[in-house]
Structure formats: C-alpha cells, structure tokens
Amino acid sequence: MRKLKNSELNRLSVESFKKADKTPIVVVLDNIRSLNNVGSVFRTSDGLKVEKIVLCGITASPPNKEIHKTALGAEDSVDWEYFEKTEEAVNKLKEDNYTICSIEQVENSVSLPDFEPQKDKRYAIILGNEVKGVQQKIVDMSDMSIEIPQFGTKHSFNVSVTAGIVLWELFCKLSK
C-alpha cells in the first residue's frame, strides 16, 4: 500500500464546495468554550458537506487563529452564522422547518443507532457546552434528543468527538 498524496485525493475547491449539494444538517454549537473544539467541528462539517454551522453564546467565531489550527481552512468552506442566544437560533431553524435534535442524555432520548432520519427532512443537531451540555431550555425547545450509547466509566464524549460520531452516523443514513 502507498499512502496517497493530497494532490491525488480529488478534493473540492472552496468554490466548488460552496456550490455542491449539502447534507441536510445544520450544526448548532451551544456555548462551546474550546476554540479547538469549534475548529474540529468545522473540519468534520466540511468533510461531510454539512449545510451550515450556527455558533451561539460564548462560542467563538472565525476568523480566529485558534479555530484555524484545527479547522485548517474549513472555516472558509463551511457557511456559518452567529446568534447571541441559542434560543433565537433554534426559533429561526424551526421557522425554516428543521427538525431540532439536541444531542444530550435526557429522559426518553433516542439511541443514535435507533434513529432513522427521514430523507425529506432537514435536521439541526445541537451540541452543548463541554461541562454543562445543552441548556435545559434548549432541550425543552427541541423536537427530540439523541443519545450516543456509552459503555465505560465516563459520562460523556468530548464535544468534537460527539460531533464526529453523530454527523458520520446521520451522513451514512441519509446517503443510503
């Protein structure tokens, strides 16, 4: 086996990415404090052609050299928008007919492997603060909550890891 060179990967240019059909998902970052996590979500969102990222509250926004360290330019390809209050973003997404899904451990959550997204719907996936998770008032505004099964001693995954797991799972299911 020979490792491929970047020039052999046939990746989209930023201009081509902007014009390409997207996965019908918007990622909402609810008060993410780590700029590395924000950058990582941009990079994952680029890789899976997510429609947009919505940055809320204390979540930093581009241009920012700390976001760029992990985004590696994905902050230029993936559309993004900022809202001071997450509830304003959720209300706007509801008006635009997105199904609002908090990624959180709550009563009556749907296990990620059991969740079957419908191809005729668009989804907003809300990821919460590294310590406090998704705000309860945002969970209350959500159409549903999705939970990633876990089997070890810790109570949660890192938010950027969570983004990768959830976005990959939804991408695969929506691409069938």
Instruction: Walk along the chain (176 residues) and give the pLDDT tens digit of each residue.
Output: 999 999 999 999 999 999 999 999 999 999 999 999 999 999 999 999 999 999 999 999 999 999 999 999 999 999 999 999 999 999 999 999 999 999 999 999 999 999 999 999 999 999 999 999 999 999 999 999 999 999 999 999 999 999 999 999 999 999 98
Q: What are phi and psi of 37, to 5 degrees?
A: -65, -40
Nearest alpha-carbon partner for 49 in 171, 173, 172: 171
Domain positions in the chain are 20-175
* Domain 20-175 indexed as CATH 3.40.1280.10: yes
CB burial class (10 A; 0-12, 13-18, 19+) of residue 59? buried
**Residue at 143: amino acid letter:** D
Yes or no: say if 157 and 40 are a contact pair by the CB < 8 Å rule. Answer: no
Q: Residue 145: which H helix or E strand, with range?
A: strand 144-147
Question: C-alpha dihedral over 33, 39, 44, 46, to 10 degrees?
Answer: 130
